[in-house]
Amino acid sequence: MARVTSLNVNGKKMAVDVDSSVSLLAVLRNDLDLTGSKYGCGEGQCGACTVLIDGVATRSCITQVARVADKRITTIEGLEKDGKLQPLQEAFIKADAMQCAYCTSGMLMSASALLDKNAKPNREEIITAMNGNICRCGTYQRIIEAIQIAAGTQASGLRYAESGQEVAS
């Protein structure tokens, strides 16, 4: 049975020793202790497991690790650089787009892939790109705003000022 012995994760070569049919999600979480990507459904329906494979948003729970052995894998842990948050991450905080925050990693990865392809998406484009990610707590509206803040396209009458104080609703 083939084994996978190395993965390229967040720009680093990482040693593993796993069966080729194990899901990428399981390898990230259990073998590499990169637990930022989450298990939500195991059938690619909720998006909590979303990572980037060569920049493309991918559901790692239904991705066999062998298929990505020679690809560039980016996880939520790879977003921040030298302890500095990316604009998307800052925007999620500013827009208060988190309740239980279990969906947040997957949301950030899907949003990151969207903004890499389309720097100024309109609301419909955001919804289409993000519709595979579930937020059961219902912060969708704020996630859309966070993406707009990061893209610099938030509607005038911004709800959230720098301090987190509501300005207008």
Can you give the binding site for other proteins, defined by CB under 8 A? 19, 21-22, 26, 29-30, 33-43, 45-46, 48, 75-77, 79-80, 85, 89, 92-94, 96, 98-105, 108, 126-128, 130-131, 133-144, 160, 164-166, 169
Minimum CB separation of residue 143 from other proteins in Å reads 8
Strand partners, 3: 19
Minimum CB separation of residue 152 from other proteins in Å reads 19
Which residues, 6+ apart, have CB-to-CB distance to 160 below 8 Å?
94, 95, 96, 145, 149, 166, 167
Strand partners, 72: 8
Shorter beta-carbon distance to other proteins: residue 138 or 152 = 138
The helix or strand, by DSSP H or E, that contains position 149, with its residue range, turns out to be helix 140-151
Shorter beta-carbon distance to other proteins: residue 58 or 105 = 105
Minimum CB separation of residue 149 from other proteins in Å reads 13
Minimum CB separation of residue 131 from other proteins in Å reads 5
Are 160 and 92 in contact, with CB atoms under 8 Å apart? no
Structure tokens at 58: 């991918």
Minimum CB separation of residue 118 from other proteins in Å reads 16
Kindly report the three-state secondary structure assignment for every residue of 70-101.
Answer: CCEEECHHHCCECCECCHHHHHHHHCCCCCCC
Structure tokens at 55: 């920049």
